């Protein structure tokens, strides 16, 4: 089915790896382990690749971040908004699927039936992930390769996906799951493999190798070493006299898309230090709420919304507001289609631009380097952002949000695509920011192990 021997490429070396028909492999690896290069090989990237044997099956269904970004960019190219009297919603979801009638039950199971006539751009992050997964399953493949299949999905969707994949395994479908969190290893996988330091460090039958897997994946992330003393010096001076003025006050908040209501009657007050966790199922309106707050949603002016003591729509400049917010979201990530280097993207956070269009001062460059150091990515400083792996890009965007040490951090599923070590290091780091009162944090996540005690309030959507 799949055979690799003596493979050498940038950042990955595999002596021997083979998958037999009907096997299901869960392959685990963190940032810089080589797992993303492996996904690239499956995707047909042959750059500077040498292999004694490289046999891949004809029909591969590959769900990867890179492919997902390619779909998004394809949708942008097809955007016809300029010629319509409304926003172009994008390709209807049903056109991504093969033989909808035959797969009704499956589509229903993924709670996607009612979304089939929505355009691609009208879907939430989790809904897009489910659609692309359905795309590959309904199309049929000899080998299904799924990169981080559970990322971005709510708990019940994770269970549904897990049961569906387990069922496909029962029917004899060969699968490779590429994950970076040990908690994402499904119970039904027959085989496990671990990538570490650019090599396939361990592989074998699940029952034989499982205990070694956890041990092998234990690691350190440089993010955890960031000195809070450093940050304290960099943090924007918080005006204590304004401590009682809420950073965010939304009264009777609402959002809708045309006739479709997302939420209404939502009250939210966030004062300094009110670190807020936002949770709820896919498509319930978490990102929409954050878009209202950061000014990326057209209804932000029609809502009774006050930010940093100023009512939205009262002549305030969005740039003054953005200067006080550090933002990471899927939307920001996919819209980073710019040519700048990793360093330039970090530094662009000081200017709130997507890409860097102003020559930074020497001090700003130095600060950018410091953030690269803190993220453990200093060697990647000159690499174009788009050539970094998805997880590295995420870390760079975190650096971009943090570089100006803003009073308000808005993080919408910031750990999407990160491995366990980096996820936990980021949460430790945020916890210290919270303890030291360096910023107020608003955080969206589907992962219960990220619901730390420093969150003072929780907005739970249903």
Ligand X SMILES: Nc1ncnc2c1ncn2[C@@H]1O[C@H](COP(=O)(O)OP(=O)(O)OP(=O)(O)O)[C@@H](O)[C@H]1O
Residues that bind ligand X (CB under 6 A): 121-127, 257, 260, 262, 280, 282-288
Q: Pick between residue 286 and residue 394 the one whose CB is nearest to ligand X.
A: 286
| Minimal distance, residue 459 CB to ligand X, in Å | 11
| Minimal distance, residue 290 CB to ligand X, in Å | 8
| Minimal distance, residue 88 CB to ligand X, in Å | 10
**Cα 41-42-47 angle, rounded to 5 deg:** 25
Q: Pick between residue 125 and residue 174 the one whose CB is nearest to ligand X.
A: 125
Helices (H) and strands (E) counted in the chain, each on its own, are 14, 18
Closest-CA residue to 253 (of 281, 221, 291): 291
Q: 384: exposed, middle or buried (C-beta count within 10 Å: 0-12, 13-18, 19+)? A: middle
| Minimal distance, residue 274 CB to ligand X, in Å | 21
Q: Pick between residue 262 and residue 277 the one whose CB is nearest to ligand X.
A: 262
| Minimal distance, residue 31 CB to ligand X, in Å | 23
> In this structure, how many other beta carbons lie within 10 angstroms of the beta carbon of residue 436?
13
Please state, in angstroms and rounded to a whole number, the distance separating the CA atoms of residues 25 and 197.
Answer: 20
Give whole-number Cα distances, 288 to 152, 278, 348, in Å: 15, 12, 24
Closest-CA residue to 215 (of 194, 188, 200, 199): 194
| Minimal distance, residue 104 CB to ligand X, in Å | 20
Nearest residue relative to ligand X (C-beta): 126
| Minimal distance, residue 64 CB to ligand X, in Å | 18
Q: Pick between residue 136 and residue 286 the one whose CB is nearest to ligand X.
A: 286
| Residue written as token pair 């055979």 | 3
Q: Pick between residue 257 and residue 454 the one whose CB is nearest to ligand X.
A: 257
Alpha helices in 148-285 (DSSP H): 155-170, 206-217, 228-234
Q: Pick between residue 283 and residue 399 the one whose CB is nearest to ligand X.
A: 283
| Minimal distance, residue 277 CB to ligand X, in Å | 14
Please state, in angstroms and rounded to a whole number, the distance separating the CA atoms of residues 57 and 424.
Answer: 37
Q: Pick between residue 23 and residue 184 the one whose CB is nearest to ligand X.
A: 184
The token pair at 370 is: 């410091």
CA atoms within 13 A on the CB side of 143: 22
| Residue written as token pair 């690691």 | 219
328 phi and psi, to 5 degrees?
-135, 130
Q: Pick between residue 33 and residue 282 the one whose CB is nearest to ligand X.
A: 282
């Amino acid at each position: 089915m799949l055979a690799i021997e003596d493979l050498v490429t940038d950042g990955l070396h595999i002596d021997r790896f083979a998958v037999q028909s009907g096997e299901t492999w869960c392959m685990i690896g963190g940032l810089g382990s080589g797992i993303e290069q492996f996904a690239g090989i499956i995707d047909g990237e042959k750059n500077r690749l040498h292999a004694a044997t490289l046999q891949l099956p004809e029909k591969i269904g590959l769900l990867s971040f890179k492919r997902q970004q390619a779909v998004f960019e394809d949708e942008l190219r097809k955007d016809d908004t300029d010629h319509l009297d409304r926003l172009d919603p994008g390709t209807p979801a049903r056109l991504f699927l093969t033989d909808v009638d035959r797969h009704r039950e499956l589509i229903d199971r993924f709670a996607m039936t009612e979304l089939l006539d929505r355009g691609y751009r009208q879907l939430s992050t989790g809904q897009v992930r489910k659609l692309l997964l359905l795309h590959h399953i309904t199309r049929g493949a000899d080998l299904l390769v799924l990169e981080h299949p559970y990322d971005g999905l709510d708990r019940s969707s994770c269970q549904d996906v897990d049961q569906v994949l387990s069922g496909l395994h029962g029917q004899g479908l060969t699968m490779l799951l590429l994950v970076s969190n040990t908690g994402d290893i499904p119970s039904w996988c027959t085989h496990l493999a671990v990538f570490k330091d650019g090599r396939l460090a361990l592989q074998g039958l699940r029952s034989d190798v499982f205990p070694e897997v956890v041990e092998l994946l234990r690691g350190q992330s440089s993010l955890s070493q960031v000195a809070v003393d450093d940050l304290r010096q960099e943090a924007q001076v918080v005006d204590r006299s304004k401590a009682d003025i809420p950073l965010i006050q939304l009264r009777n908040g609402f959002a809708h898309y045309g006739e479709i209501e997302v939420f209404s009657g939502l009250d939210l007050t966030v004062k300094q230090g009110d670190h807020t966790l936002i949770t709820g199922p896919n498509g319930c309106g978490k990102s929409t709420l954050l878009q209202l707050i950061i000014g990326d949603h057209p209804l932000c002016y029609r809502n009774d919304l006050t930010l940093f003591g100023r009512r939205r729509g009262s002549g305030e400049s969005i740039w003054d507001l953005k200067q006080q917010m550090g933002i990471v979201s899927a939307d920001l990530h996919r819209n980073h289609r710019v040519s700048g280097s990793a360093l330039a993207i970090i530094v662009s956070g000081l200017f709130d631009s997507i890409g860097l269009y102003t020559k930074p001062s020497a001090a700003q460059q130095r600060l950018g380097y410091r953030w690269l150091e803190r993220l453990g990515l200093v060697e990647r400083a000159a690499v174009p952002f788009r050539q970094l792996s998805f997880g590295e890009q995420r870390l760079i965007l975190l650096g971009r949000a943090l570089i100006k040490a803003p009073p308000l951090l808005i993080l919408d599923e910031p750990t999407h695509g990160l491995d366990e070590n980096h996820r936990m290091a980021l949460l430790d780091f945020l916890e210290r920011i919270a303890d030291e009162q360096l910023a107020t944090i608003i955080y969206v996540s589907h992962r219960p192990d990220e619901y730390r005690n420093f969150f003072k309030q929780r907005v739970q959507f249903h």
